[in-house]
Structure 1
C-alpha cells in the first residue's frame, strides 16, 4: 500500500515544539518513502478549539516548510459520520447504551480505589440491551474481556495490553458528541492512514483504537510512538523550560532549517553528521531508526546549529528572515531587499541568530545620526581622534567611485598620514558610524553605509569632538 501519514494537532493553542517534531518526522518519513502527508485538525473539543489556533498551526507548519500534501481536514466536519459508525456498532453488538449516573460511577470508582483495584467502569449496563430513550445515557464500546491487544511498534518494539485492563470506552457522550478515540479511528480509516506517527503519550490510546478497527472490520495502521522531548532537568518539556512555540523560535531569530535539523537529531542520527539540509533529511530519514530514549532539548546546541545554517545559507535565503527581524525593530526593509542581500555576507560570520544580525545591521537602515553607547564613546571619542577623522572625511568626499578598494585606499592613506594603527582610527570611526565599537570590517561598514550617510555621521562625530574642546 502507498504510505499515508497524518499530523493531527488539536487547535487549542500554538504549535508547540514537540508537535512540530511529530509533524517533521511524518513529513520526512513520507518524503523518504514516496507517500502522502496529511494534516487533520482534531477540533472535537469545541469549547477550547479556536480559529486563531488553527491559523497559528498553519503558519508554523508553513514556516518550517512542512505544508501538507492533503488538508487541512477538520474533525468537526465529520460528526455525522462518527455517529453513523456508532449506530452500526450498536446494531452489530459492539457497543451498548449505558445509563449509569455520574454519582453511581463515582461511588464505584471509590470502592475500587479502597480495594486497591484499578478504577474502571464495572460493566453494569453491558448486557442489559438498553434502548436509546429519554433517559440520559452514553454509548460505550464492548471492549473484549479476554486476550490482549498487541502490535509491533516501529520505534518501541512489541507492546502488549491485556484486554481486562482496558475500560469499556465511551464512544458518544451524554450530549450526543463523539469522543476522541472514536473520531481518530474513523478518520484514520476514512483517510486511508497506513502509518500513525505520534508521541509515546498516545500509547495508551492505541489498543482502544485497534479494538474499534477490528470491530468494524477495518485494516489496522502501523504505529510508531516517538519518545517525548524533555527539558534539561529531565522533566517533560513545558512552558517553564522557555520558548516552546515554533513561532516564538522564529521571533528569537532561529532559521526553520536549523529548527528542523536540531529536532531530527533528537533521537535520530546518521553516522557522525550533525548538520543536515532539508534535502538530505528527506533522502535519509526513516522513523524506524529513532531511538527509544527521551530526548533532552538543549538550547545551546540549537544555537550552535543555527549559527552553522546562517553561515551556510545564501544571502537570498536569509533575506525573508532578516526582513522579518528588522520589521520587529520598527524598520521597513521592503524597498531594500536587494540591499539586504548585498550586505548580508558581512554579517553572516558574526551572528548566531537573526535577532543578533538585525541588531548588528540596524545602523544601516536608519538615516539619522545614531546615539553613541556611553562606554564606547568614552573610550574612543577622544580629542586625538578629531584630526584624523576630519582628514578621512576630506578623502572620502573626493572619491570618484564608492567601492571597497577605493575606500580602503583613502583609509590606509589617512593611517599613514597620521602614523596611526588600524584600531586608533577604526574604533572612533565605528562609534560615529554605528554608535557602537563593534561592526563588520570598517572599510566594509563605510561601503555599506554609502557616501552621504558616512559624511553626515562623521560630521556629527566631529561636532561632538569639537564640543569637548
Structure 2
C-alpha cells in the first residue's frame, strides 16, 4: 500500500499556524513512508471562499517548502461527482429526502430542550412514503445505522468509541442541491485514495459519521490521527491577540521558513530532548505515535531563538535572499546603493533575532544620508570635531582599506593619537555613518559603507557639529 496523506484547507482566510502544522505533519508522514502528499482546497463555501485566501494558502505552502505531489484540487470543480454519489446513496436506500422545515426543526429542538433531552433531528422523514409537502425544498440525509458502535482507532488519541444511536442522520445535500462538508470530504478522500487523514481534533466528532458514510459506499475508511489544539502562551485558545497566527505574517515579521517549520513540529511532537531538526532529520524521525495528546502552547521567545539559530547556520546566500525581500518591504533596492545583502548577514546575525530587525539596522547603509539620533548627539563633547577631523584624515589613506581588521586598527590608532579612550571615538564614528551608536565593529561598518561614502558622511557630520 502506498501511503497517501492530504492537506485540505478551506480558503476562507489565511493559512494559520494550526493549519500549517497539520500540513507539516501530513507531509512528514507521507515522506517518511515514501508516500504521496496531496493538496485539496475545500472551497464549497462560496460566500466565504475567496481567491485571495487561496493565494495566501498556496503562498504559505510554497514559502514553507511543503511541496505536494498532487493538486491543488478544488471541490467546486467536482460538483458532478458529489451529485453522482448522492444519487447513488438515494438509489440504494442509504439516504433519503427530508422535508422538515426550519420552523419544524426549531420547534423540535425547543421541545427536546424543555424535556432535558439532547437536541437532535428525530428522523421523522427517514421512512416517509407519503406525499411530499408542497413548497419545501428537501435536504438529503444519510441513513446512519441505528445501533451498534463506531470505533475510531486514532493514531494519537488511541481508541475512541461512539454509539450510533447518538449520531444524527446528517445532511449530505442542502435544499439547493449543494453537498455538505461531511459528504464531500468522504468522496474526495475515497477518490483520491487517501490512506491516512491527519487533522485537528475539532474534527473528531465528524469522524464516526464519515466512517459510516465510507462503509455505506463500500470503502474501507482511512486511518485517522487527530491533532490537539494550539494555545497561546496564556493557555487560552490561539487568537490574533497572541501575535501572528498567519504563516505569511510570520514571514513579514522576519522569520525564516526553516525556523517556523522546526518550531511548528515541536508544537506537540518530540524526539527525546532534541530541539533542532533539519528537514531530512524530520522525515527520518517523525512518527504520529510521538505526538502529544494534550494541547500545545506557543512560545514566541523560543521561535526567536530558533530563528537566530537558523540565520547563523543556514548558507549565507539563503538568508540573504530572505533579507533582500525584507529590504524590499522597506522600499530598498540593494542593487542600487549599498552593500550586498550577503555582506550584511554575517555582520548582523549575532545582533538580531529576526530579519525585520536586521533590515531595520542595515537601513542606513542603503540611504543617501542619515539623521543622527538627537539624544546621542546631546552627549557629545568638544572633542567630537577633533575626532571627526582625525578620522577623515586616517580614512583617506588607501592602505588601511585592505580589510575590516586594518580599518579597525586605524580607528583605534586615531584614539591613541588623540590620547582619547575608544569610547570617545567610537560613538562619533557610528553617529556619523549610521545615525546611532549601536552597530557591529568599526572595521565592519566602514567596510560595508565603503571609503567614499564613509568620508562623505564624516564630512557632512563635521559640518553639522561645527567648530
Structure 1: gaps (5+ residues):
none
- With 47-56 and 266-275 compared, the bigger mean Cα shift is at 266-275
Question: Using the alignment, how far apart are the partners of 2:301 and 2:405 within structure 1?
Answer: 39
- 1:14 matched residue in structure 2: 14
Counterpart contact for 1:97–1:129, Cα < 8 Å: no
Q: Match of 1:62?
A: 62
Map residues 75-224 of structure 1 onto 2, 5 A cutoff. 75-129=75-129, 135-224=136-225
Shift of 1:369: 2.1
Residues paired across the two proteins, number: 465
Task: Describe the SS at the equivalent of 2:273.
Answer: coil
Give matches, 1:369-408, under 5 Å: 369-379=369-379, 381-400=380-399, 401-408=401-408
Which residue in 1 is equivalent to 2:26? Answer: 26
Query: Kindly tell me: are residues 185 and 336 of structure 1, through their superposed partners in 2, closer, same or farther at Cα, counting changes over 3 Å?
Result: farther
Provide the residue aligned with 2:38 in structure 1.
38
Q: CA deviation at 1:131?
A: 8.2
1:8–1:41 Cα contact (<8 Å) kept: yes
Change (3 A) 1:302 1:405: closer
SS in 2 for 1:152: strand
* d(CA) in 1 for partners of 2:111, 2:370: 74
Quote the Cα distance in structure 1 between the aligned partners of 2:300 and 2:284: 26
Rounded Cα–Cα distance in structure 1 between residues aligned with 2:275 and 2:323: 25
Deviation at 1:410, TM superposition (A): 2.4
Q: In structure 2, what is the Cα distance between the partners aligned to 1:60 and 1:131?
A: 52
> Displacement, 1:240?
2.5
Q: How is 1:283-362 mapped onto 2 (pairs within 5 angstroms)?
A: 283-334=284-335, 339-362=340-363
Task: Tell me if structure 2 keeps the 8 A contact 1:399–1:406.
Answer: no
Segments of 4+ moved more than 3 angstroms? 129-135, 334-338
Q: Which SS does the other structure have where 1:126 is aligned?
A: coil
Distance 1:150 1:130, change over 3 A: farther
- For residue 405 of structure 1, report the CA deviation from its aligned partner: 3.5
Question: Cα gap change, 1:274/1:434 in structure 2, threshold over 3 Å: closer, same or farther?
Answer: same
The CA deviation at 1:32 is 1.3
Deviating more after overlay: 403-412 vs 452-461: 403-412
SS of the residue 2:159 aligns to:
strand
Query: 1:364 — aligned with what?
Result: 365
Q: CA RMSD in A?
A: 1.6
Normalised TM-score (structure 1):
0.96
Bigger shift: residues 131-140 or 58-67: 131-140
Conservation of the 8 A alpha-carbon contact between 1:126 and 1:142: yes
C-alpha deviations, 1:289-309, integer Å up to 9, x for none?
A: 101010011212211221211
Gaps of 5+ in 2: none
| Cα shift at 1:26 | 0.8
Q: CA deviation at 1:336?
A: 7.2
Post-superposition offset of 1:446: 0.5
